[in-house]
Amino acid sequence: MQLNLTNIHHTYAGSAREVLHGVTLALPQGWTGVVGDNGCGKSTLARIAAGLMTPTSGSVGPSGLVGGYCEQDASVAPEGLEDFACAWDRDAIRLRDQLGIGDDWPWRYAELSCGQQKRLQVAVALWRRPDVLVMDEPTNHVDAPTRRQILAALRGFGGVGLLVSHDRELLDALVSQCVCFEEGEVRLRPGNYTEASAQAGREAAAAASLHESARREERRLAQERQRRVEEASRSKGLRSRRGLAPGDHDARERIGRAIVSGKDGRATHLTKTLDSRISSAAAQASAATVEKSYDGDVPAFGERSRRSVLASVPEGLVPFAGGDVVAGADAGTGAGAAAGVPGVRVPELFVGSADHIGLVGPNGTGKSTLVREVVRRVPNDVPMVYVPQEISPAAARDAMRQLRELAPDQKGKVLSVVAQLNSEPEALLATDMPSPGELRKLVLALASLRSPQLLVMDEPGNHLDLHSVQALERLLAGFPGAVLLVSHDARMVQAACNRVWELVPADAAGSVLRER
């Protein structure tokens, strides 16, 4: 089986911008990654491939294929949920076991956690066995164990699969080729994400080298042309008969021989030749296009506190329900369970002025509980920025208001940070309500004006494209102060952190923190 997309063009009604332009792809059985910046057209292409949208022009074939689309948002019950709830065939039982789905889950979908909803949503999509299946960010908001379960289930799919994701580990483990949105074009590259990205990097480096070489040649030829024009001008002055004495027959004869020999015309011919070579070099430079990207260093902001410790939590149990730490609860023996208080058992914890701490663990183990406790213990005179997992509409409106009220120099600084996080400042200024990913970048950029000494970020990679995630990693790694990063993205934690706090499920009391 193979899905063919031929000369696909698409423009949304009321828009002058063409989202897809002449896209032609042949997609075989197995999984293909779909990667690119936010807003580049990934979801549009995926919906057309799944048969959920009709392109403005172009064709999708063969006809008669059944498409399925697993939405990024798992809060809405998927189509076919009730059928799956009543199904006990071999595939349904296998998917229930593979994804750890309880028999009653389909009947109480609204009560499930985000991770449970996502597992059930994936199970229903696979059980329906479409010919073409699109998975849109299937590992957003899920922990590492759930990610492994989803990966194992997806590996069993036998049709044409499209994986739209910023999860580098999932892409590397699952896909055999990638549809890459680059420079306004769509390219199909062999290999998983790391392999396709490396190939794109090599091509970009070669194009940049060719572009710079052509520009250097263009500049050299332009300088040579100018030199020859000046030389020709001097020569013309020397060959002019003006100013010669009427009786200077020898000088008149030399000038006459130069004109007859063609030296005048030769200079003009050489200039025209150089003009042609300059045009050729300029054309080469233009042909060696370099993709516009924001891969530089984020403008430095923040500072390291003079305090050696910014926050400390005493040994004990941090209750899930809030309130003071239950002191004396042994973090290793389960004394919290004996006391009947559910929570996170911790040894004495310190956040140093330059510590970059990654907080990891399965959903439900108390990461948010511990973050709240750490933030509560930060002194008021320590400038801190906290970016939650989800930013409320009120906070979004306030962030946009702050941006518009800034003085020009401050606005320029904020937009420079936004740009280096792989976003278009012009697009941000043109909207009243930015996307969740753009909003996260704006909140962080606004923080640059306050010289924070501590950054606390909860799942900052959610809603970001891959280039933006990598830009964020560079920002966090280079931040001079302290960082507390909650993330399921192992690569981000590895890139940005020098310490890791891991929450491990323990018993009815909750979890235990172990540093590694």
Starting from the edge strand earliest in sequence, which strands make up the sheet with 57-61, in order?
Answer: 18-28, 2-11, 57-61
The answer to whether the Cα torsion of 132, 137, 143, 148 is positive or negative is positive
Confidence of residue 330 (pLDDT cuts 50, 70, 90): very low
Q: pTM for this structure?
A: 0.72
* Spatial separation of the C-alpha atoms in residues 467 and 295, rounded to whole Å: 8
State the residue for tokens 């663990």.
361
pLDDT for 515:
92
> Phi/psi at 378 (nearest 5 deg)?
-80, 125
Q: What average pLDDT does range 477-497 have in this prediction?
A: 93
User: β-pairing, 160-164 with 30-35?
Assistant: parallel
- pLDDT beyond 60 at 338: no
Q: Helix or strand or coil: residue 452? A: coil
> How does pLDDT run across 291-319, given as a tens digit for each residue?
555 555 566 788 999 999 999 999 999 99
State the residue for tokens 């970020």.
457
- 75-89, 216-230, 442-456: least confident range: 216-230
pLDDT for 341:
77
For residue 326, what are the CA distances in angstroms to 342, 346, 347, 379, 413? 11, 10, 12, 21, 44
Look at 224 and 339; give whichever has higher pLDDT.
224
Tokens coding 496: 């940005």
- 48-62, 79-93, 202-216, 329-343: least confident range: 329-343
Confidence of residue 87 (pLDDT cuts 50, 70, 90): very high
- pLDDT beyond 90 at 392: no
- 188-197, 238-247, 442-451: least confident range: 238-247
Confidence of residue 381 (pLDDT cuts 50, 70, 90): very high
> How does pLDDT run across 271-290, given as a tens digit for each residue?
667 677 767 766 665 655 55
Tell me if 23 sits within 8 A of 7, measured CB to CB.
yes
